[in-house]
Each structure stands twice: as structure tokens, then as C-alpha cells.
A and B are shown apart, each in its own frame.
Chain A
Amino acid sequence: MLLELRDITKVYRVGVETIHALRGVSLGIDRNEFVAVMGSSGSGKSTLMNVLGCLDRPTAGEYRLTGQLVSRMGAAELARIRNEQIGFVFQSFELLPRQTALQNVELPLIYAREGIWGWRSRRRRAIEALTRVGLASRMTHRPNQLSGGQKQRVAIARAILNRPAILMADEPTGNLDSATTLDILALFRQLHAEGQTVIIVTHEDDVAAHCKRVIRLRDGQILSDLPIEKDQAGRFVDDVNERQRQRAAARQTPPARTGEAAAC
């Protein structure tokens, strides 16, 4: 197991109210899985993602990542884990506005423990990552000179720079139009094909259909955890007309999904 959650709970206190965002989530994810986390708004997807990404600590429960007990670590150790093991992609990109695409991609190296690899190898690595997301020609552009899809590519390049154990994305296509969404999803699929473990949070069945496994949450608990048929996912991507037809079919056929489709 690459990562293992055991009975994770997360409780928020706002004034006198207590909000149970996660109530006893247990799951395991292996290397090179491609997982979608789905659920209605407020079901605890982001909370789970933040715990998985070591951005937040669970109130109770155990979280092991590559054998390390992450749920007991302090802020500095968690920062180290985030730097070395995790690549996080946000819905709103989170690029530094005054820095070029290349400088934005280089950011995690600044906080890397193994120190300086030299200016050249650092640059080479950032350029490599940008090339992999197809932005070799936009390296010196600033975020305000890039389209939404390009910004998200820069963010993905930044996330994969340190060759993380897991690439995580919380609604990565939430701010993008449908054509750009397909581009970005194709990129995730490609990274997965190259061996990357990927976890994506999404509202949309279309997006989830690109993944291999879907975890559904409701009220902070796991509702279902099912694999997606391989050929089904393949058909979704290869042909636009087929995709649209399949989408219509998908809305009716799998009974577990109907509730969420209505919610979207």
C-alpha cells in the first residue's frame, strides 16, 4: 500500500457548533492508481484531500504514507513530506503572479532538503516538467499572460517537479471550460500511464469517468468505492461523439451514480 487511512475523523469547531467533516474514513491506495473522489457539496471531499495531501491533520485516526505515520507528525515534518512526496493541484491554480511560469514551477526546489543541485540542473528539471505538460513555449510568461488551461498546466508541472509519490488535484477543472477540461484530463491520464499515482476530487461524472476507481463520500463517510470498467473509460476519451452518447447512457445505467448526477 502506498497510503493507508484508518478510521480518520475530522471535527471542526465553529463557535459552539461542532462539524463532523469526516467520520471514520478508512481506505487504502496503491502505487499507480488513478482515483476519483466524488460526493455532493459539503460531503468532505476537500477535507479528505487535505488530510491525504498532508496539508491538514486529522482529529483522530491513523494515516500512513509510504510506511510513515504521517498523522503524528509536526508542522515541519509535514512540510518536508509535502515537498518530497506530494504534488498538489488547486482549483484556482495558485500561481505567484509576479513570477514567470518557469519560476513558479521551480518553487518546490527552493524548499528541497537535498539542497542546491546547481542552477543548471534546477532549470533543466523545471524545463523538463514544463515540457511534459506541453508549455515549453510559454516558460517566460507570467500568469496574467496565460489562459486558464495553461495556468493549470503550470500548476501541474509544479506539482510533478519533485517526482511526488502522489499527485493530488482538488477540482482541477472546476474553473475551466469543457474543451480545456479534456486537455487537462488527458494530461492526468498521460501522467498516470507513465506510472504516476493520481487522486482527483470532482463533481462531474465525465471527469470521474477518466479514472480507474471512484470513491464516493456522503456526510463524511465512504458511500461506495468501486473500480470503473477499463474499456468504458477508454471509450470515453477516444471519440467525441461516442463520449456524448456514453454520457447520456451513463446517467441512466449505473444506479449508484444517479443521486450525484442529479445533484450536479
Chain B
Amino acid sequence: MLNPLFYLQAIGLAIAQIWANKARSALTTLGIIVGVASVTAVIATLMGLKTKVLTEFESFGASKIFIFPNRPDNAPRNLYPWEEIRLKPHEVLAIAEGAPSVKAITPITEIGMTVESDDARLEGLSIVGIWPDWHQCERRGILFGRPFTQIDVDQARQVCVVNEAAIKELKLENDPVGEHILLGGRRFLIVGVVETIQSMMFGMSANKSEIFVPFSVAEKLQDKFFFMRCSALVKSPELSDEAKSEIRFILRRERGLGAGEPDTFAVEAIDQYISQFKALAASVTAIAGGIVGISLLVGGIGIMNIMLVSVSERTREIGLRKAVGATPAAILMQFLLEAVTLCLAGGFVGVAIGQSLAFGLTKIPNAGLEKAEVPLWAVAMSFGFCAIVGVLFGMFPAIKAARLDPIEALRHE
């Protein structure tokens, strides 16, 4: 209906109009600029975290499986008492022997204890009981000394492995292998120093002290119905599902669960955590979207206000355009395009600011945001929303302009 020339001149006119009122346009679009910039930065942060966490999961191994006790949903406590559903050492042994897809498995249990060295005393440190396979499951090797051996476990020797943070806190020598420390009053020989991996997700960090003892030792120190969980490593990532069903089968058999009964334990692979994280990231993105929605609404009202001013300032111009043949639709379209152009210009500045914020985030040391970047879909979404805001809030002023009577408009002072 309107010819292409019209659109060309309307867009040119809109840009000229914005340029002619630079300060006013900038102030008007401030709401949109701030909204778009903040949401862009939030999305960049999320994307950075996501990339980081996912690579972490991957290095951690898609072939890792966790086993832990789990009361069936909505089941009454007395039907599944703790002593029945807790993992028991013989069950772990059964898995170690009976599941062909499992390469390595270790029970893990923690006890809070007082630790003393010659020069330091730490209260309530958590001591972790493990099997030698733990190093393989967790991919954490030995820096000095040696890992536990099967003999350490079988004979329940009073030996321990520490990490570097523990060395520092207990004021031990840099290579403490051969020294003794007291765990709950008992003398333990330090046989090795274990690697520290930095991981934000699993609460392990370089500055947390860790002390490990053979599982059989920990078992003796624990209460009767102590809590333990398991980490297992699958032979290859593709076998993850198979390993899960093997473990499930063995545990159900060990526990004598009938055909209709639910599992009293949980077997989960790391990919389940990935999908959980993704769901979390999606909901944070949705919240950020809500925030940007509100700021765009505020920005949109600013746009409507300035467009109303523009229409009344240019009443004579509108009258003239109508006199030379502009239809109401052409006037409507011109002012809509102007509002949309204004919003898109604001969106452009907002994306640029958001982009530089994201770049700034990557430069913060130790924030874990090296990978923060604005994805293309976020840019496209920002512009899309800006255009929608322009149309929605430009509509009322544009209709006002389109309805002006040509004679009255030309008489306007």
C-alpha cells in the first residue's frame, strides 16, 4: 500500500529527528538502555558460569556415578527405617564384585574430629574414610608419599593422607610424609599428600583442610548406623546407563526388594546434575527476563511521552504532509517507525554497554567468569523486545498524529 520510498524516507527522517534532539533522545531512551544493558550483562554472567560449570562436569567425568540412600517419595518413616535404607559396606563390596561395567568404586563416610599436630589443634575437622579406588573415582592423585593400599584397609592401619591446606593449617612441614598427627587422640602416620582440585560446584577448594583415612578405620570410629555414600567410575561414559542398572539390580537383590517395591536408594550419574544445573540456569534467565520486562516497561513510558511531545511539536508538519497526500496510515507508520527506531537505538547502546560489562567481568580475577560473553540470541532478543516496546508505546502517539485534521493541524501554532 505504501511505497518503498515512503519507508526509506520515514526511517531517514526518524534518524534525523533523533540526531537533531540528541540529548533528549538519550535521556528518553535511558530506561531502555539500562534495561537492555543489565539483562545483557546478567545473561553474559550466566552463560559464563554455565560454560565453566559444564566444562568442569566434563573434566570431572561423564562416567561418574553416585550412590546414596534414599527413602522413597512420600513413604512413611516407619516403613523404611534408616537402618534398612542406609548403605552398608557389604553392599558396596557386592557392587565392586558383581557389576562388570564399574571400573572402580569407593564408599565415602565423614566423621567430625579434633586433629592435633605438634604445633596446632583443629576442632571438628571432618575426617573422610575411603578405599584406595577413591583416587581413581575422584581423579585426584598423590603428590608426595603413597596412596592407601588394600593392606591399609584390610588391617585398618592408622595411616592418613592429607591435602596441602591441612599441611598449612596444622603447621606441618612441606613434605609431611612420615610425621604423625592425632585424630581424636589416636596417633596416625601421614603416608601421602593428595592433590587439590579447584571446583566451585562441589564445595572443594584449595583452602579447605582435608584428611583421609582408610575406610575400615573410619568405620570403627563411627556410630552403629553411620551414613555413607559411594562414588563409582564407569569403564567408559557410554556404559553409564548400563552401570546404573547393574548397580540397581545388585542393591535390590541385596536388600531383598520385591517386584512392586520402590528403590530405597538412589543411583545418579553426573548428567543428571548437568540437567539440574541447566534447569536452574533457565529459571535464573527467566527471572532476568522479568527484570528486563519491567525496565522496558518503564522505558516504554518514556518513549510514549517523548513521542507525544514530538507529535504536538510537529503538528504543522503533519498537517502539511496530509495536505500533499499522506494518508492516516502513512502518518501512523511514520511515527511508529520513529518510536521503533528510537527504541532500537537505545537497545543498540544498551547491548554495547552490556557487552563491555561482560568483557569487564571476564577480567575479574578468581570470579570464575572468564567465559562470560553475550550470546547472539540475547542480542537478537534485546532488539526484538525493543522493537515491540517501540510499537506498543509508539502506537498511542502515532494514532493521535494519524487522526489529526489536516486543516486544524496546519492552523496549529
Contacts and interface: CB of A to CB of B under 8 A. Distances in A.
B310 to A, nearest CB: 14
Nearest to B403: A75
A84 B328 CA distance: 16
A50 interface: yes
Contacts of B326: 79, 110-111
Contacts of B329: 76
Interface in B308-324: 316-317, 319-324
B368 to A, nearest CB: 52
A83 B407 CA distance: 15
A85 B16 CA distance: 30
A110 B316 contact: no
Interface residues of A, number: 29
Interface stretch (A36-44, A60-68, A88-96, A139-147): A88-96
A162 to B, nearest CB: 8
Given A75-B328, A96-B317, A111-B321, A116 B410 contact: no
B155 interface: no
B328 A110 contact: no
Most buried by B among A56, A90, A111, A116: A111
B320 A96 contact: yes
A130 interface: no
A107 B4 contact: no
Contacts of B354: none
Nearest to B324: A108
Given A96-B320, A116-B3, A79 B410 contact: no
A241 to B, nearest CB: 39
A203 to B, nearest CB: 19
B407 A80 contact: no
B3 A55 contact: no
Interface in B323-358: 323-330
A111 B320 contact: no
A16 to B, nearest CB: 20
Contact of A76 (B328, B405, B410): B328
B324 A90 contact: no
Interface string A102-125: 000001111111111000001000
A109 B326 CA distance: 10
B5 A98 contact: no
Contacts of B201: none
Contacts of B330: 79, 111
Given A50-B407, A55-B406, A96-B317, A79 B325 contact: yes
B184 to A, nearest CB: 86
A113 B325 CA distance: 10
A116 B6 CA distance: 9
Interface string B1-30: 001111001000000100010000000000
A67 B100 CA distance: 96
B325 A111 contact: yes
Contact of A79 (B319, B327, B407): B327
A74 to B, nearest CB: 9
A158 interface: yes
Contact of B4 (A90, A98, A113, A116): A116
Contacts of A109: 5
Nearest to A119: B5
A113 B327 CA distance: 11
B325 A94 contact: no
27 contacts: A55-B407, A56-B406, A75-B327, A76-B327, A76-B329, A79-B322, A79-B326, A82-B322, A82-B325, A83-B325, A90-B323, A90-B410, A94-B319, A94-B323, A98-B20, A107-B320, A107-B324, A110-B5, A111-B321, A111-B324, A111-B325, A112-B3, A113-B3, A114-B3, A115-B4, A116-B4, A158-B324
- What 3 pairs across the A-B complex have the smallest Cβ distances? A83-B325, A115-B3, A79-B327
Interface of B: 3-6, 9, 16, 20, 316-317, 319-330, 405-407, 410
Interface of A: 50, 53, 55-56, 75-76, 79-80, 82-84, 88, 90, 94, 96, 98, 107-116, 122, 158, 162
